[in-house]
Chain A
Amino acid sequence: MSDRLFVATRKGLFAVERSKRAKKPTWKIAGVSFLGDPVSIVLPDRRDGSVLAALDLGHFGVKIHRSRDGTGNWSEVAAPQYPPEPPGDGERDSFGRKLEWKLRKVWALAAGSADEPGVIWCGTIPGGLFRSPDSGASWAMVRPLWDHPDRKLWFGGGADWAGIHSICVDPRDSRHVTVGVSCGGVWVTPDGGANWKCQADGMWASYMPPEKKDDPRIQDPHQVVQCRAKPDCLWAQHHNGIFRTTDGAAWWRELKEVPPSVFGFAVAVHPEEPDTAWFVPATKDDKRVPVDGKVVVARTRDGGKSFDVLRKGLPQAHAYDITYRHGLDVDETGTRLAFGSTTGSLWISEDQGDSWTELSSNLPPVYCVRFG
């Protein structure tokens, strides 16, 4: 089980550790890096113990730092760089707005499989996927996806431009990679990025006109996660629903009866049990607060047939915490969970969500929580 947690926030990266000295184990903030700087995403790499953190410095752009052992000694590595724009008037998105080929945000970092040490995948805004063969020392854009004609159909969801926020590397075959795009659906490559196919059939979009609502290429999966033991099972928290696939994203089945709401951003799946998943719901897209001011976690253990609404240890009155798409994580055993919120709360569970302990309610807004 993981005894360490990284929390990327709008004002720095916090390391949280579990102390075994006390009679009752407790989690405490052990250190902070990049205090004052927005950290959009963090990746503890279980293959070698290193940690990558993406900073969004505002004035001075996006930077990536790496710590060999995750203990706070950081060095800057390369940041993904978009290729030169073709000559002409420049690209416009599907709504006619100018789309500059410039890195706006690192929105996803994922380690390659154990059989490809050093390989890191990176999803960006606007709409880019990059691959590093050397732990972030260098990056190359995955041009077949960027150059795919359907990318021109993508548009921003949660940001001005489309972005790749979810990257799932198949444990059985590291060349098989699934990415989630807001808004652009779910894309799958069977061959390490050379060829791509949009596989979001079954999803539908409430925010599009009827003629377009079933188009897989404009779907807004807020987050996509893959079960490690059963990689053909993936879950998606979509803009207007919760979807699940058990056939490798050939078809996504909607789960309509999910208490207290089907709206949210984050989802986590048990690494060994494909039928067990957790969500942090909010009311709806035009009312992004917890239902009735009560923070809860929805958990299913039967593939979505039924859900438990978990609230022990969570605030149940006048709580307006929202959890972003990377703000929830489950450890590698499927036992411990943690989630953070936009109002700086952080909760940890050691019993699959049955009960929660508040570690802080005063952190900066939380962007990403990762065990490692």
Chain B
Amino acid sequence: MPRVVFTPVLQRHVEATPATVPGATVREALEATFAAVPRLRGYVLDDQGALRHHVVVFVDGEAVRDRERLSDPVTPAAEITVLQALSGGST
């Protein structure tokens, strides 16, 4: 099953520990993590269910392309990494 890892920055706000979850797409894997920690959803996805503008997701080191539907496939051995984009930084 794929493993989902979150940026440590998220830990300051919400429980976001690495999790091994079922799922054949990025969406399915993330939904599985949200099922365990519902509050996490609003930190990663926006009102319409797309990736937040300043959040990026990598699958085995490659940035996901479908930021709206999160349909990128993942293998059982995949590592999905959820990070904050530097574009969202501010002073």
A84 to B48, CA, bound (A): 6
A102 to B84, CA, bound (A): 18
Distance to closest chain A CB from B44 (angstroms): 8
Q: Which one, A61, A84, A100, contacts B42 given CB within 8 A?
A: A61
| A76 CB–B CB distance under 8 Å | yes
A79 to B52, CA, bound (A): 15
A60 touches B84 (CB 8 A): yes
Q: Residue-by-residue, is A340-356 near B (CB-CB < 8 Å gives 1, otherwise 0)? A: 00000000000000000
Residue tally, chain A, CB below 8 Å to B: 17
B54 touches A102 (CB 8 A): no
B54 touches A63 (CB 8 A): no
Evaluate whether A58 and B90 lie within 8 angstroms (CB atoms) in the complex, with A63-B13, A76-B39 already known: yes
Cβ of B84: which chain A residues have Cβ within 8 Å of it? 59-60
Cβ of B64: which chain A residues have Cβ within 8 Å of it? none
Interface residues of A in 31-59 (CB under 8 A from B): 38, 57-59
B47 touches A82 (CB 8 A): yes
Distance to closest chain A CB from B9 (angstroms): 8
Q: Which one, A58, A63, A79, A85, contacts B89 given CB within 8 A?
A: A58
Residue tally, chain B, CB below 8 Å to A: 19
| A27 CB–B CB distance under 8 Å | no
A58 touches B48 (CB 8 A): no
Measured CB to CB, the nearest residue on chain B to A90 is: B48
Measured CB to CB, the nearest residue on chain B to A56 is: B90
Cβ of A102: which chain B residues have Cβ within 8 Å of it? 46-48
| A140 CB–B CB distance under 8 Å | no
A61 touches B48 (CB 8 A): no
| A137 CB–B CB distance under 8 Å | no
A81 to B55, CA, bound (A): 18
Q: Residue-by-residue, is A72-104 near B (CB-CB < 8 Å gives 1, otherwise 0)? A: 000010010110110000000000000011110
Cβ of A61: which chain B residues have Cβ within 8 Å of it? 42-43, 46, 52
Cβ of B89: which chain A residues have Cβ within 8 Å of it? 58
Overall SS of chain A's interface: loop
A85 to B47, CA, bound (A): 9
B52 touches A60 (CB 8 A): yes
Q: Which one, A60, A81, A84, A101, contacts B13 given CB within 8 A?
A: A60
Cβ of A85: which chain B residues have Cβ within 8 Å of it? 48
A259 to B86, CA, bound (A): 45
Cβ of A38: which chain B residues have Cβ within 8 Å of it? 90
Evaluate whether A58 and B13 lie within 8 angstroms (CB atoms) in the complex, with A76-B39, A85-B48 already known: no
Cβ of A81: which chain B residues have Cβ within 8 Å of it? 42, 47
A100 touches B85 (CB 8 A): no
Cβ of A82: which chain B residues have Cβ within 8 Å of it? 47-48
A103 touches B39 (CB 8 A): no
Q: Which one, A59, A63, A76, A101, contacts B52 given CB within 8 A?
A: A59
Measured CB to CB, the nearest residue on chain A to B40 is: A60
Q: Which one, B10, B14, B54, contacts A58 given CB within 8 A?
A: B54
B48 touches A100 (CB 8 A): yes
A102 to B67, CA, bound (A): 15
B88 touches A59 (CB 8 A): yes
A85 to B48, CA, bound (A): 7
Binding site for B on A (CB under 8 A): 38, 57-61, 63, 76, 79, 81-82, 84-85, 100-103
Given A58-B54, A76-B14, A101-B48, 8 other A-B contacts at CB below 8 A? A59-B55, A59-B85, A60-B10, A60-B43, A63-B13, A82-B47, A100-B48, A103-B46
21 contacts between A and B (CB under 8 A): A38-B90, A57-B13, A57-B43, A58-B54, A58-B89, A58-B90, A59-B54, A59-B55, A59-B84, A60-B42, A60-B43, A60-B44, A60-B55, A61-B43, A61-B52, A63-B13, A81-B42, A82-B47, A82-B48, A102-B47, A102-B48
Binding site for A on B (CB under 8 A): 9-10, 13-14, 39, 42-44, 46-48, 52, 54-55, 84-85, 88-90
List the 5 closest pairs (A to B, CB-CB), nearest first. A59-B84, A59-B88, A60-B43, A82-B47, A59-B54
